[in-house]
Structure formats: C-alpha cells, structure tokens
Structure 1
Amino acid sequence: MTGRKENLRDFRSHENAGVVKFGNNYKCQVKGYGKVTNGQFIVNRVAYVEGLQHNLISVSQLIVGTGNQVVFNDEGSITSKFETNEVLLKSKRYGDMFTLDIKPIVGKPSVCVLSKASNDVCWLWYSRLSHLNYQNLNKLVIEDLVRGLPVLKFDNDTLCAACEIGKQHRKGHPIVIDSKIVEPLLKSEVAQTMIEFTKKIEMSMKKNVRRIKSYNGSKFKNNVMDSFLMGKGISHNFSSPYTP
C-alpha cells in the first residue's frame, strides 16, 4: 500500500475498499487500487491509503499469482521468475528492514527509457488492438489510456503479413496515347512530318511511341519512314485497303 497516488498507474477508485488499522489504533480508508511499475517489474493491486507516510508491501503480493519467487539473504532480496530464474529485481537490506528497490514511473514516461517488450507481448497487443501501428501503441502507453496495457516499449522488426497484403496496390494498366494528324499532306512531306510528329510526342509526353497507324496509301510507304521506325522499334500499322 502507498500514500502517493502519483506513483500508481491504471488507478481505480473504490468507495468501500476497506479500512487499514495501524498500531496506534488509527484507521485510514482505502481509496482504491492501482499498480506500480518501473517499466519492467510490476506490482499489481497496490492499495492507495490517503495520508500514509510510508510504502508497505507483503511478500505474498510479489508471489501469489505472479509466477515469481523471492529469495532473502544477508544482503537483501532477489525477485525472479520461478520457471526461468530470470532476475527481475534486486533489493538491499537496511538493518532488519527488507526494502523493495524500485523507482516507479511517475507521470508520462519517455519511450526511450522504457524496457522493450518481448515479441510475444508485442504481437499479443498488436492483435488485441486491431493491428494498431506501434507508434500509436506507444502513445497509448505514454498517455496511460488503456487499462492493463503493460508499460513497455512496443517495437517489432517483423512485418505483419496480413497488413502487408492489405496495403498493396494493384498495378494500373499502361496508358495508351492516341494522337492523329488530320492535315492533308503532300507525298514529299509525309516522311518528314511523321518523323517530327513522333519526336514531338515523345518529348512532350516523356514516353516512347510504340506503334503508329496510317492510311494504307503509297505516300506512307517509303524507305525514309521505314528506316526511322525500324531504328526506334516502332511498329507501323495500316488501315484496311479500299475495296470498291
């Protein structure tokens, strides 16, 4: 229990949460419960007692339902995971008093000082919050907007396959530009005019001409025009021949 409400995160007030009785028979009302964390180690269900001058904690609160174990020695205490023996917290002993050496996060923490969440925890909350991106997920942590959300830095280098597919865009069809020359041309002007027109289209549109179509007449069939089109890789299509 604590008398400092600012140290509690995810605080929930209760009207009839109980009464704490001290050695001098003085009683204080429990105002609610929250959790204390330093970003890596979390103590759940910490009672807020208004007016309490010292923080108190029981060993059972660190062990029961947490999967942790606490070992005491002459130097202090070691809190670790029961299954993996991963050390979570080391605390020193002062005289006959065993303390819990934890610096709780107060207010809005900076993301850079938070411990990084494991990949399993990242994917768990990423899925729970409908594939919310990690930048906004960290904002929820800083602003303390979601109850139960661990105070950790969420980051994952692995892309979500479903989101990656959903954000793909279908490739568009190639643009076909249809331009025409409708002015009457003399036979001697056809080749040069067609060459200049082709170059003008490529310059203005910044695209290569792939094919042209012309009237199936003799003035559009000459060596100069055929040589230019062959060098540019442009196909020359003719209209159907006139049939009386």
Structure 2
Amino acid sequence: NDQFAPIIGYGDLVQGNVTINRVYYVKGLNHNLFLVGLFCDADLEVPFRKLTCFVRDLQGNDLLTGNRGSDLYTISLQESTSSTPLSFMAKATPTQAWLWHRRLSHLNFDYVNLLSEKDIVIGLPKLKYVKDQLCFSCELSKAKRSSFRSKVVPSSKRRLNLLHMDLCGPMRVTSINGKKYILVIVDDYSRYTWTLFLRSKDETPEVLKDFITMI
C-alpha cells in the first residue's frame, strides 16, 4: 500500500526443521511476508500455479507448498514436505561479499559461507556470499613465473672471473659484535661462497676493497 515502516530488529526463525536466517521484524506489520528472491538466492526454484505454489530444490523435490488466497500465496512452515533440515539465507550484496572476502584475508567464498552459517565470526552477517567475478589479488598470488632455462655454456671460464654479491639486512637480531648486515659473495665458476658481516651499509666499499686484496 506504498507505506513505509521501520525495521526494529532481525534474527533467525526456527520452525520445526525449517530455519530462516535474518528475519526482519517490522513494527505494525500484521503478516509474515516472504520474498521469492530469498528462495532463489538459496538455490531453490519457486514455480507458481493457479491455486498453489511450490518451493523446490534443484533436483525437483518439493520442500514447501503454498496455497493461493486472493492474490497472495500462503506458505505454512509446519507443513514442510522435507525430512531434512532446511535453511534459507538472504544473498549478500556484491559490496558486502567482497568486503568480507578481503577482511578475512581473501578467504575462499565457500569458507566464508561456512563461517557465516556456523556463526563463528563475530560481526559476520548471516548471508549467502557469492563470488560473481575473479579476484585480481587471488589470481595474482596463485600465478607461477616460468622457470629460467639452464645455461648450456657457463658465464665464466675460470675462478674469480665473475662474482655475484648480495647485501641483506638489517637483521632483527644484532650479533655480539654489533653487526646486523650480511654480505654474501659467490664465485660464478666454482660456486664458492664467502659470508661477511657488517655493522652498517657504509662499510661495504671498504669491505670489498679488503676482499679484493685478499683474493
């Protein structure tokens, strides 16, 4: 009738073996209303006939049956034809779905739905979270770089002809002598490795001079 009413609260409705999540309480509304989209979001089918309607799973099994009265169809939860527990959850908006996907460290949507269904995470709304597109960060993290081809001809012909160096640090724990940087030098031909310890990056030029003099 084009009137608006505030939602006072919401919760889960349990009637026999039927559970409907996130049921809104609207003050002044004298009848319980179902949205057909709610059933569709729960991967169910809702065919309508002239005098009846059915709520079915994707295998064609009737779960709930409704009867027509004037222009409205009435469904009785107490007359469920399913012997197994039923649970209906509203579908989260794409914004909500991806927000919680990122909040939970890009958790798989199947596990997000499991956390929501089991009410494990405080603050996670009881909704059905659907992946409607690919996540760029997830796809990038799963990508693998092609391996480098092995060299048939070595780069160097003799020892000390080519050296590879890498300076790393600062280390979280400083040595007894106050050194927290590591300079690693690898001979390309023999793969012999030297490990030198430094107090700061500024020592690198002098350490290299002493190293060249030594070899």
Higher Rg of the two aligned structures: 1
Tell me if both proteins adopt one fold, taking TM over 0.5 as the criterion: no
TM-score calculated relative to the size of structure 1: 0.31
TM-score calculated relative to the size of structure 2: 0.34
